[in-house]
Amino acid sequence: MADPPPPTHAPPPRGVVLIGYRGSGKSTVGEALAERLGRPFIDTDADVRARFGGRDAAEVFADPSLGEKGFREVEAAAVAEAMAGAAAGAVVATGGGAVTESAAGRAAVTACPALCVYLHAEAAVLAARISADPHNRRPGLSAADADPAAEVAELLKRREPIYRAVADETVGVADLTPAEAVDAVVALLPR
Binding-site residue numbers for substrate are 45, 72, 96, 159
Distance of CA 140 to the CA centre of its chain: 18
Give which of 57, 81, 63 is closest to 141, Cα–Cα.
Answer: 57
Question: DSSP characters for 5-54?
Answer: PPPP-PPPPPPEEEE-STTS-HHHHHHHHHHHHT--EEEHHHHHHHHTTT
Binding-site residue numbers are 23-28, 45, 72, 96, 138, 159
**Residue 23 contacts residue 156 (beta carbons within 8 Å):** no
Binding-site residue numbers for ATP are 23-28, 138
* 3-state secondary structure (DSSP) of residue 148: helix
Binding-site residue numbers for Mg(2+) are 27
**Residue 25 contacts residue 178 (beta carbons within 8 Å):** yes
